[in-house]
Copies of this chain bind each other. A is one copy, B any other.
Amino acid sequence: MARATQEQSEETARTVLITAQELFAEYGYEAVGLEQVAAGAGVTRGAVYHHFRSKKGLFEAVLDEAQSQVSAAITQAAPGEGWDAIEEGCKAFLRASISPGVRRIMLVDAPAVLGWTTWRRSDARHSARLLEEGLESVIGPEEDRSAIAALLSGAMNEAAMWIAEGGDIASAERALSQILRSLRSP
Which residue on chain B has the smallest CB distance to residue A117?
A: B165
Pair B182/A112 contact, Cβ less than 8 Å: no
Q: A72 on the interface (CB 8 Å rule)?
A: no
Q: A29 on the interface (CB 8 Å rule)?
A: yes
This protein's copies in its complex: 2
Residues of A with Cβ closer than 8 Å to B? Answer: 28-30, 104, 107-109, 111-113, 115-117, 120, 143-144, 146-148, 150-159, 161-162, 165, 167-168, 171-172, 174-176, 178-183, 186
Can you identify 12 A-B contacts, CB atoms within 8 angstroms? A144-B171, A146-B162, A147-B167, A147-B168, A150-B158, A150-B167, A151-B172, A154-B154, A154-B156, A178-B183, A179-B179, A179-B182
